[in-house]
Amino acid sequence: MKHLSLYYKILIVFSISIGFTILFASYFLHFLYTELYLENVKESIVYQGKRTASHFHYGELNDDIIQKIQWYNVVSEFEVIVVDDLEELSSYFPYKVNYETLIHKEDRHTLEKGQYVLKKGYVQEFNREILGAIFPIKGENQLIGFIYIYVPLATVMDVFSGSIPIIILVGASFFVLVFFIIHRIWKSMFAPLETLRDLALEVSKGNYEQQVITDRNDEIGELTQAFNEMSASLAEQEKRKRQFTSDIAHELRTPLTYISGYTVALKEKIYSSPDEARHYLEIIEKETERLNKLIHDMIDLNYLQDDLYTLEKEPIPISQLLLDALDFFDIRIKERNLQIDLTISEDLIVLGDAKRIYQVFFNTIDNAIKYSYDHSTISISLQQEKSSIVYHINNKGMTIDKEDLPRMGERFFRTDQARNRKTGGTGLGLSIVKEIVRLHGGSFHMTSDEQAGTSVYIHFPSLE
Looking at residue 231, which CATH number applies to its domain? Answer: 1.10.287.130
CA distance 84 to 56: 12
Least confident of 22-31, 294-303, 323-332: 22-31
Cβ neighbour number for residue 50 with a 10 Å cutoff:
14
Q: Are strands 453-461 and 117-123 parallel, antiparallel or unpaired?
A: unpaired
Residue 98 contacts residue 68 (beta carbons within 8 Å):
no
Domain final residue pick, 252, 282, 309 = 309
| CATH code, domain carrying 80 | 3.30.450
Nearest to 358 by CA among 384, 392, 322, 319: 322
pLDDT-wise least confident of 146-155, 236-245, 358-367, 438-447: 236-245
Domain boundary among 290, 309, 328: 309
Inside any domain, residue 176: no
Torsion from C-alpha of 179, 184, 188, 190, nearest 10 degrees = 30
State residue 415's pLDDT score: 65
Domain total in the chain? 3
pLDDT score of 30: 66
* pLDDT score of 302: 72
**Could you tell me the pLDDT band of residue 310, with boundaries at 50, 70 and 90?**
confident
Q: Do 438 and 299 fall within a single domain?
A: no
Count of H-run helices and E-run strands, the chain: 15, 11
| pLDDT for residue 379 is more than 90 | yes
Of the residues 99, 128, 159, the one at which a domain ends? 159
Apex 71 CA angle, 66 and 76, nearest 5? 120
Average pLDDT, the chain: 79
Q: Is 76 helix (H, G, I), strand (E, B) or coil?
A: coil
Asked if residue 183 belongs to a domain, the reply is: no
Task: Report the C-alpha gap between 234 and 448 in whole angstroms.
Answer: 37
The answer, yes or no, to whether residue 308 has pLDDT greater than 50, is yes
- For the ranges 135-149, 232-246, 318-332, the one whose mean pLDDT is highest: 318-332
In Å, how far are 259, 264, 276, 279, 280 from 271, measured between CA atoms?
Answer: 15, 11, 6, 10, 9
- Do 156 and 33 meet the contact criterion of CB atoms below 8 Å apart? yes
Boundaries of domain holding 124: 6-159
Which pLDDT band holds residue 418 (cuts at 50, 70, 90)? very low
Q: What is the mean pLDDT of residues 127-142?
A: 82
Q: Do 419 and 335 share a structural domain? A: yes
Per-residue pLDDT at 417 exceeds 60: no
Same domain, 305 and 315: no
Distance CA 225, CA 212 (A): 8
Question: Average pLDDT for residues 265-294, to the nearest whole number?
Answer: 84
What is the structure's pLDDT at 416? 55
As a whole number, mean pLDDT of residues 298-317 equals 76
Q: Are residues 375 and 407 in the same domain?
A: yes
- Within a 10 A sphere around the Cβ of 263, how many other Cβ atoms? 13
Interatomic CA distance for residues 202 and 191, integer angstroms: 17
Give per-residue pLDDT as tens, 50-69: 877 776 654 555 666 666 66
